[in-house]
Structure formats: structure tokens, C-alpha cells
């Protein structure tokens, strides 16, 4: 490691003094203009992680659902999963090191993580469409090259595509080709096959309206739709030519406002969905014949997928264990339905796909979704092999079910000061500030079928307040009362809450 060269280059990406950041729910996020040094340093860190794991590591430049002015970076581990927690700590130390301590911090990481500096390193990079992303990706590359790492810059990619590239490269192409065409081919083929098997004759041609949040999803889906032209006709909205990224559109907007995005006209019973800024969230919705809006969020997606999978498992007669993982945001009724009606075990983890992903790996088939539309289905290697074997051996109906499961496996890309508030019990209980949880408990008692909790966001400088109750009005009112309690008991963090505010 050429420490002098690192010092020299680091000075070109100097850290604003006094700036302290934390590797949060999904990496580092903040106003783009403060992130140059973080990007350079994450380039360095990715090289060390690659040397240590002897594998390709991914770096994604995006602030996902955050406003256009923000940006961020997340590192992707060898199997396409989120960075290991011990390395999140290294990332935080490195991002916060003062210039004069850079060498010491890097040496410390190498020592603690037993990094073999002689080992080669390879990094893949992707970025979203934010105007700041290209330059920030270049800072990542500066960090990689100063440590002698090799890299491939994919340019514009969705976050799931970058996860896919990392996984493909680390499995020698067995999972698929590490190219955007490879990605489109693999997923569209599984989709077309699955829809052929699932539909009754007469309903083969489906259509879908997609709100692309004015982000990267528009560019990639425009290319991808050519690959499944027979099975699905896709119409794109909010493609980034006029509107602002994530502004009045996108999955987060639709989920939190429970209404369609701007710029999309919906007729009754048309299928519609929204991505977020880096296309790793999806929520579906439609209007019924009376014009009422219905949202199919992550909770409902998890329920639909679980029942579909359960049916197929029954059909093939295999006793593979299926579990569902949710977060505290999951609507209570969805949890009750899964447990009591579908008899599926449900687990609750902290917010952040990295936590859900980890828990879902404990099952033969682990379905995990956050209410906000992040999620996937994981199949254990043993379950995957069994299903693919049965798809060859079984006969007639059973074989068809096994083939459908095999296509589902290929279709799911399986690759996760507000700090005054501390939480426990998968973030459902506030431990500090004193008295806050008691206040929330008292407020919840005032409403029927209600639940509420608060937690500091890991991606934005806000406290998130969640409330549910037997009616929209009661849920809004409970949310407002809880927001006021946070404002008072947490010493006035954020702006004074307005009625029906979710984030303060």
C-alpha cells in the first residue's frame, strides 16, 4: 500500500472538517456536495474488502428514494448482499477519519480484518441518474485506482442490476451473464415462461403502467421491455424528461400518500406500479369500478406471493419450510392473516433490507418484504436443487407446479439530532428519551385496533412516526399525537409537527 500516494490523493478529496457520518440503513446518504471524500474513501474500502474476500465487490452511487439533491453510496458484498456489519463499522471509521489519520485508520482496518494486501482486487460500479452521480462515481474510481484495484464501471444501472452483476461475477457466470443484456435475458425468460404456465388461455396479453419516479428505472425498463414483448405490454410514465426525481411520484410518494403519482392517468382496473429512484422498490395499485384507489404495498405483495408459493408446494407435495419476514411497519392485519389464515410463520426485524435478508436466509423459502416495497424471495440452495430436480422428474400437474417454482427462482433477483431516539424489540419500542414509550402507549390506548412506533431514519435526517388504527381518520390523528409527543420529549427535534405528518 503506497501510503504517501493515498495521502496525496486523499487531499484532493478532502473531508469537510467536523462532518460526522454513519453507514446507515442503506449506506451513506446526505446532500451530494458533502460526499466527495466519502466516495473516494469507499473506493479505498471496496478494494480492501475485495482483497479480504478474494471476490468482486460492488459500489452503487445512489440516494434511492431521497430527493434529487441528495446522494449516497452503498457497498455490495460478494453474493450480491449488503455489506457485512463489521465492515459497516470500518466504513464509518474511514469516512470520519481526519486527513492526518487516514493512513492509521487504513492500516487498522487491514490488521483487524486480516486483509492480504498482495491479493488482487476487482470492483464493479453503478450509478443512478442524479446529476451529481457521475462525478461522485469518478471519486470512487480515484479511490480504487490509488490502491491498485481493477474495476468495471457499468455507468447507469438500477441497484438490483448492480447486485446481480456482483453475484454473476463471483459465481463464474453460473447465475447469469454479468451484462445488462444477461440481466434482461435471464429475468424476461423466467417471466415469459411463468406467465405462459400461469395464465388460462385468453388472458395471455397483459398490460402494465409503470411510474418510473423520473429515475433510472425508466431507462432500463425501456430497454428491457423489448425482451418480454409477447407476455406484457408496458407503458412508462415519469421517465425523467420533465419532472424531478422522486418528486410527487415514485413508490415512496404513492405509499405514503396513498394516491397515484402525478403524471399518470389511471382508468378503472388498469394495473399500475411505481418504482423508486434506483428501482429497488415496487408498489402496485389500481382503481376499482367505483374509482377507489387500492394499493398493493410490500405487505400485500408478501401475502400474495406466499399464498402462490404455498399452493405450488402443496401441488408438488414437498414439505419445504416457508417463512415470511416483515418489519414493524407491516400492517397488523397482514401479519394476522399470514399467521392465522395462511399458517405461515412471520418474523419481525429492524427496518433495512439487510436485516430482513439475513432472517429470510434461515428458511428453505424465505419471503421478505418491507411495507415500502423492498423485498424478494430467497430459496436455499438445497430447496432450489430439489425443485429443479422435481421439474424434470414429476409428471403432469405436479411437474407443471415444479416448473413454475423453478421459474420463480430465476425471476426473483435474490441477491439488503434524531439519534436521541433509541429503540429495541425490532424498533417497536423506544428506549430513549425517557417517557416517550409510555406516552405512545397511552396514546395508542385511545384508539381501536391501533399501533404506533417511532424510529430514527437511517437514510434521512428525520424521525419516522408510524401509526395504524381502525380508520384513516384515527390513524392520522394518532400519528399527529405521537409526533407531538416526540417533539416534546425528544427536546424539539426537527420541525414542529403539522397535523397528519409522518416524518419530523
Counting contacts by CB under 6 A, is residue 428 touching ligand G16? no
* DSSP secondary structure letter of residue 100: G
Question: Residues 52, 56, 349, 351: which binds ligand G16 (CB under 6 A)?
Answer: 351
5 in catalytic set: no
Q: How far apart are CA 257 and CA 372, in angstroms?
A: 12
Q: How far apart are CA 463 and CA 53, in angstroms?
A: 36
In degrees rounded to 5, what are phi and psi of residue 121?
Answer: -135, 140
Counting contacts by CB under 6 A, is residue 348 touching ligand G16? no
Q: Quick one: which segment of 199-207, 456-464, 469-477, 487-495 binds ligand G16 (CB under 6 A)? A: 456-464
Cell numbers 469507499 label which residue?
Answer: 42
Catalogue the long-range contacts made by 475-483 (C-beta closer than 8 Å, 24 or more residues apart): 475/447, 475/450, 476/500, 477/447, 478/443, 478/444, 478/446, 478/447, 478/450, 478/452, 479/452, 481/443, 481/446, 482/440, 482/443, 482/452, 482/454
Q: How far apart are CA 342 and CA 310, in angstroms?
A: 9
Question: Residues 70, 276, 364, 427: which binds ligand G16 (CB under 6 A)?
Answer: 276
- The dihedral sign for the CA sequence 61, 455, 484, 333: positive
Chain center to CA of 3: 35
Binding mask 373-412 for ligand G16 (x = CB under 6 A): -x--------------------------------------
Binding mask 221-260 for ligand G16 (x = CB under 6 A): ----------------------------------------
Task: Determine contact, residues 262/279, Cβ cutoff 8 Å.
Answer: no
The interface with ligand G16 within residues 462-491 (CB under 6 A) comprises 464
Q: Quick one: which segment of 121-129, 187-195, 346-354, 419-427 binds ligand G16 (CB under 6 A)? A: 346-354
Q: How far apart are CA 475 and CA 321, in angstroms?
A: 35
Burial class (CB in 10 A: 0-12, 13-18, 19+), 260: buried
CB of 440 to ligand G16, least distance (A): 18
Q: Quick one: which segment of 121-129, 169-177, 273-281, 361-369 binds ligand G16 (CB under 6 A)? A: 273-281
Counting contacts by CB under 6 A, is residue 413 touching ligand G16? no
Counting contacts by CB under 6 A, is residue 418 touching ligand G16? no
Which entry of 10, 50, 64, 274 is annotated as an active-site residue?
Answer: 64
Q: Quick one: which segment of 197-205, 221-229, 276-284, 428-436 binds ligand G16 (CB under 6 A)? A: 276-284
CB of 276 to ligand G16, least distance (A): 5
Q: How far apart are CA 312 and CA 402, in angstroms?
A: 7
Counting contacts by CB under 6 A, is residue 459 touching ligand G16? yes
Q: Is 155 left (phi over 0), alpha (psi -120 to 50) or beta?
A: left
Question: Residues 26, 83, 305, 391: which binds ligand G16 (CB under 6 A)?
Answer: 26
Counting contacts by CB under 6 A, is residue 77 touching ligand G16? no
Counting contacts by CB under 6 A, is residue 458 touching ligand G16? yes
Active-site positions read 64
| Residues contributing to the site for ligand G16 (CB under 6 A) | 25-26, 64-65, 276, 280-281, 351-353, 370, 372, 374, 457-460, 464
Amino acid at each position: 500500500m503506497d501510503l504517501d500516494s493515498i495521502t496525496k490523493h486523499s487531499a484532493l478529496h478532502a473531508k469537510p472538517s467536523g462532518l460526522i457520518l454513519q453507514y446507515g440503513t442503506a449506506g451513506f446518504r446526505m446532500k451530494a456536495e458533502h460526499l466527495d471524500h466519502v466516495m473516494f474513501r469507499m473506493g479505498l474500502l471496496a478494494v480492501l474488502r475485495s482483497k479480504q474476500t478474494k471476490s468482486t465487490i460492488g459500489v452503487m452511487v445512489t440516494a434511492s428514494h431521497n430527493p434529487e439533491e441528495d446522494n449516497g453510496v452503498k457497498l455490495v458484498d460478494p453474493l450480491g448482499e449488503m455489506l457485512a456489519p463489521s465492515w459497516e463499522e470500518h466504513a464509518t471509521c474511514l469516512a470520519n477519519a481526519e486527513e492526518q489519520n487516514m493512513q492509521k485508520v487504513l492500516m487498522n482496518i487491514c490488521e483487524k480484518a486480516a486483509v492480504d494486501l498482495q491479493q488482487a482486487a476487482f470492483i464493479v460500479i453503478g450509478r443512478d441518474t442524479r446529476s451529481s452521480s457521475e462525478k461522485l462515481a469518478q471519486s470512487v474510481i480515484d479511490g480504487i485506482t490509488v490502491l491498485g484495484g481493477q474495476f468495471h464501471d457499468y455507468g447507469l444501472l438500477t441497484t438490483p442490476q448492480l447486485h446481480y452483476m456482483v453475484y454473476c461475477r463471483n459465481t463464474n457466470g453460473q447465475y447469469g451473464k454479468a451484462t445488462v443484456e444477461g440481466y434482461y435475458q435471464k429475468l424476461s425468460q423466467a417471466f415469459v415462461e411463468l406467465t405462459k404456465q400461469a395464465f388460462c388461455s385468453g388472458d395471455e396479453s397483459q398490460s402494465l403502467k409503470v411510474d418510473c419516479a423520473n429515475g433510472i428505472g425508466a431507462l432500463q425498463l425501456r430497454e428491457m421491455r423489448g425482451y418480454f414483448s409477447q407476455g406484457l405490454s408496458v407503458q412508462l410514465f415519469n421517465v425523467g424528461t420533465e419532472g424531478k426525481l422522486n418528486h410527487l411520484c415514485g413508490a415512496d410518494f404513492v405509499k405514503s400518500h396513498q394516491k397515484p403519482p402525478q403524471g399518470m392517468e389511471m382508468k378503472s382496473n388498469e394495473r399500475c406500479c411505481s418504482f423508486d429512484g434506483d428501482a429497488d422498490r415496487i408498489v402496485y395499485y389500481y382503481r376499482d369500478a367505483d374509482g377507489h384507489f387500492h394499493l398493493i404495498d410490500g405487505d400485500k405483495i408478501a401475502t400474495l406471493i406466499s399464498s402462490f408459493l404455498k399452493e405450488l408446494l402443496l401441488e408438488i407435495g414437498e414439505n419445504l419450510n416457508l417463512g415470511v419476514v416483515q418489519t414493524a411497519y407491516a400492517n397488523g392485519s397482514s401479519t394476522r392473516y399470514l399467521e392465522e389464515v395462511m399458517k405461515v410463520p412471520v418474523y419481525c426485524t429492524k427496518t433495512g433490507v439487510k436485516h430482513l435478508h439475513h432472517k429470510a436466509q434461515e428458511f428453505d423459502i424465505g419471503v421478505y418484504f418491507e411495507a415500502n416495497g423492498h423485498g424478494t424471495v430467497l430459496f436455499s440452495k438445497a430447496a432450489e436443487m430439489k425443485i429443479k430436480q422435481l421439474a424434470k422428474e414429476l409428471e403432469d400437474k405436479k411437474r407443471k407446479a415444479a416448473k413454475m417454482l423453478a421459474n420463480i427462482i430465476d425471476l426473483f433477483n435474490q441477491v439488503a439530532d434524531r439519534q436521541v431516539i433509541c429503540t429495541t424489540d425490532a424498533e417497536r419500542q423506544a428506549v430513549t428519551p425517557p417517557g416517550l414509550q409510555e406516552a405512545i402507549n397511552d396514546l395508542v390506548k385511545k384508539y381501536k385496533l391501533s399501533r404506533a412506533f417511532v424510529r430514527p431514519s437511517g437514510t434521512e435526517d428525520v424521525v419516522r412516526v408510524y401509526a395504524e388504527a381502525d380508520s384513516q381518520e384515527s390513524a392520522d390523528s394518532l400519528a399527529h399525537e405521537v409526533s407531538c409527543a416526540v417533539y416534546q420529549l425528544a427536546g424539539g427535534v426537527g420541525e414542529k409537527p403539522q397535523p397528519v405528518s409522518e416524518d419530523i
